[in-house]
Amino acid sequence: MGIWIINAQVVAAGNELSKKHILLEGNTIEKMIDAAGALPETAGHTVIDAAGKLVTPGLIDMHVHLREPGFEHKETIASGTRSAARGGFTTIACMPNTRPVIDTVETVKYVLDKAETEGIVRVLPYGCITKNELGRELTDFDALKQAGAIGFTDDGVGVQSAQMMKDAMAKAASIGLPIIAHCEDNTLVEGAWASEGEFSRKHGLKAIPNESEAIHVGRDVLLAEATGVHYHVCHVSTEQSVRLIRHAKQFGIKVTAEVCPHHLLLSDEDIPGLDDANWKMNPPLRTPKDVQACIEGLLDGTIDILVTDHAPHSEEEKAKGVNLAPFGIVGFETAFPLLYTKFIATGQWTLQFLVDKMTSLPAQVFGLPLGTLEVGKEADITIIDLNTEKAVDPAEFASKGRNTPFIGWNLKGWPTHTIVGGQVVWSES
């Protein structure tokens, strides 16, 4: 039985909306008709009345942590995909820093099989660059690609050896897959959790300098130029990184980049103190200058896409305090509302800009046949209420993780329905 979405408000251009009736048959968008006239004949179909709501292509998140296998107390593929669906995401790409890490055909297949049987959104796994993410020996890129890996990353740690990274890039380029880099020079970060800025100075903390990220970005864009690989920079957070990526793009180097909502909305000066590890993340919150640089980089296309870096941890782990707690915050269920409330409702960005950065552009960057509302395309749809305001309440999350610094924030732009391949996988009712 197909689905008619009637009275849908879809983005036409900028902030302009057009009203459409959309028919989904099987896993395909069958029709999109102007809603100015009479309602279509809907007998024999499920009907979703989207009056007053925004209808977009399914949101795409190319940087998430599902924690399974090995860390099921933090998250599972089942709970993580349900959390993604509540956030409006229909496709997510999971990082390989699980236990065991995703460095073999068997672990790639494990994730894909689990996603097929227990997940409710599309899951695309990355494979590791190096075995066990130790930076010593490359994984079998050919076999991982054949098994279903969509790219290679040691996210969670930076590849410290330039030669190892160059070899990885050359191999990835030869088989047409990207290198996705967590940029972090270990010699500059050991024993620190806060960025070098006002907060660390105020509290007398050993700090993480911006160069810890930017040094790897600078090194890697030169290696990408030499090898011709598609090089993608994870969770950009510093002004220097933005500057280096912009420069690389000007020279025609095949580099793309992503940024997370928290690095656009928060700085180190927002951290309330030393008691709440929900403000501990990697990369850490940077200075207001860095926040502005990331916003400007997103606006001018230096940074291509938005991601969440959804990183759930247990309440017990985060309760250990800032020195002992793990890095990371959850992001699926607050991403669109945060960005909509901060940047669209205030008139800083257009609605089309935000939607594109979370749908069509991630699909373009990673070569996915997704991310558009067009007849004949995949019926991945997100329906969003732009008007109802409610507070962020982690107790309502579908994720096992409750670790967010946004508790109590009043936001608009909450998803109400998520449709994957023509099937409603989540609705608020």
Task: Please measure the distance between the N-terminal and C-terminal CA atoms of the chain and give it in whole angstroms.
Answer: 20
Determine the 3-state secondary structure of 23 from DSSP. Answer: strand
282 in a known ligand binding site: yes
Amino acid (one-letter) located at 413? G
Tokens of 21: 């009736």
262 in a known ligand binding site: no
Tokens of 309: 């870096």
300 in a known ligand binding site: no
97 in a known ligand binding site: yes
Report which of 145, 140, 120 is spatially closest to residue 130, judged by C-alpha positions. Answer: 140
- Within 8 A by CB and 6+ apart from 410, the residues are 341, 389, 390, 391
Buried b (16+ CB within 10 A) or exposed e, 66-91: bbbbebeebbbbbbbbbbbbbbbbbb
The CA-CA-CA angle for residues 199, 203, 206, to 5°, reads 85
327 in a known ligand binding site: yes
Q: What length does the chain have?
A: 429
DSSP conformation class of 171 = H
243 in a known ligand binding site: no
Where is 92: in which H helix or E strand?
A: strand 89-94
177 in a known ligand binding site: no
Report which of 64, 320, 65, 333 is spatially closest to residue 193, judged by C-alpha positions. Answer: 320
- Residues facing residue 91 across a β-bridge: 60, 122
65 in a known ligand binding site: yes
Does the annotation count 309 as an active-site position?
Answer: yes
The residue from 220, 290, 309, 356 that is catalytic is: 309
Report which of 285, 330, 284 is spatially closest to residue 309, judged by C-alpha positions. Answer: 330
220 in a known ligand binding site: no
Detail the residues annotated as belonging to a binding site for Zn(2+): 63, 65, 155, 182, 235, 309
Which residues are documented as binding site? 63, 65-67, 97, 155, 182, 235, 282, 309, 313, 327-328
Annotated binding-site positions for substrate: 65-67, 97, 282, 313, 327-328
Residues marked active site are found at 309
